[in-house]
Amino acid sequence: MVSLPHPIQYQGSKRKLASVILNFLPNKVERFLEPFAGTAAISIAVASKHISQSFWLNDINKPLIELLELIVERPEEIISAYSNIWNEQHHDSIKHYFEVRENFNQTNDPKLFLYLLARCVKGSVRYNSDGLFNQSPDKRRKGTQPDKMRKNIEGVSALLKDKCRFTSLDYREVLAEAKSSDFVYIDPPYQGVCGNRDSRYFSGINFDDFVLILEQLNQRGVAFAISYDGKRGTKTFGLPLPKELGLKKIEIEVGRSSQATLLGREEITIESLYLSPNILHGQSSELESYISKAARQPTLLEMYG
Ligand SMILES: C[S@@+](CC[C@H](N)C(=O)[O-])C[C@H]1O[C@@H](n2cnc3c(N)ncnc32)[C@H](O)[C@@H]1O
């Protein structure tokens, strides 16, 4: 796949996995739903392959969804705002970052958010207990150059303009409306390996509610795919999804840890993709044979990387 536009730097973005994930999705769908859209990396890839002409992008993070909407529907406005904010940093870039951050925490202005995301440590969104954005600036980088940002924003807008519905709801409200003619890509927040192994919550999401809503999707004949935590070395992340959901698990190798290699351990990180039973209905036998081949192939990225 040719390199896809990506204006928003975001920890957890599926941009690098998009071409592998797309291999497991249908060739045509009426409407593509992302209840945990983040940067909409998979919808951008789906649009580039003409798999769908209609999208519903939802994320509980309101400034993030407003930013996506600006990028898609009013690209010139956000391009010029980014360029102005970026150019203001020359005098004292770190001080400027903290001023923008403070301003964002008072206004939630999505234009300021794009600059913060471009400029903060690893595109990693962090909030304090009062809900204020508190991530620090990356001292080694100045953030994407305005020219490069322009190209990325124009690229995303060209793919998605006038095709999307944007909302900032809890994912359950979106899934409650999913129809059997839709396809849903579900990428919930990272569960991590630390903390209480028995916790039924991950980043505010109740695991039992999550499973219940997947059962309901199955019953209503809605096809979906879930990116779910995987494993690194011998450590497994995330509570296991119940067998009764009838999901097909695909393991995708996403990298090898250089730190572990230095210590003489071979640590491979695997992310799991779960395909719902309805995904194969109406699909070509090509996809079925691809899935059975892939299921036997532990290092997918070596095939497609
Ligand atoms: C792993 S990220 C998605 C990344 C996305 N696939 C991408 O490529 O950028 C998970 C997203 O879920 C959102 N989120 C967390 N809780 C949510 C909820 N209850 N309802 C909807 N979105 C939620 C977070 O704001 C975050 O953007």
254 lines ligand 1 (CB under 6 A): no
Instruction: Kindly state whether residue 280 falls inside one of the protein's structural domains.
Output: yes
Q: Is residue 237 part of a domain?
A: yes
CATH number at residue 206: 3.40.50.150
How does pLDDT run across 108-165, given as a tens digit for each residue?
999 999 999 999 998 888 899 899 999 999 998 899 999 999 999 999 999 999 999 9
Atom of ligand 1 nearest to the CA of 190: 1
Residues 300 and 277 in one domain: yes
Predicted confidence (pLDDT) per residue in 23-61, tens digit: 999 999 999 999 999 999 999 999 999 999 999 999 999
Q: Are residues 20 and 152 in the same domain?
A: no
Task: Note whether residue 262 is domain-resident.
Answer: yes
38 lines ligand 1 (CB under 6 A): yes
The percent of residues above 70 in pLDDT, for the chain, comes to 84
Please indicate, yes or no, whether residues 138 and 191 belong to a single structural domain of this protein.
Answer: no
Q: Is the pLDDT of residue 296 over 60?
A: no
Tokens of 220: 């209503």
Enter the pTM of the model.
0.91
- Band of the pLDDT at 232, cuts 50, 70, 90? confident
Asked if the structure places residue 8 within a domain, the reply is no
279/135 same-domain check? no
> Is there an atom of ligand 1 within 6 Å of 17 CB?
no
Same domain, 36 and 80: no
Q: Is residue 6 part of a domain?
A: no
pLDDT band at 304 (very low <50, low <70, confident <90, very high): very low
Whether 228 is in the pocket of ligand 1, judged by its Cβ within 6 Å, is no
Same domain, 33 and 168: yes
Where residue 240 falls among pLDDT bands split at 50, 70, 90? confident
Q: How many CB atoms lie within 10 A of CB 106?
A: 10
Ligand 1 pocket, mutate which of 60, 127, 170 (most atoms under 8 A from CB): 60
The tokens for 206 are 């109740």
Work out the mean pLDDT of the chain and round it to a whole number. Answer: 88
Domain that includes residue 74, residue range: 70-156
Question: Is 2 within the bounds of a domain?
Answer: no
Condensed to tens digits (0 to 9), the pLDDT of residues 273-288 reads 999 998 866 555 556 6
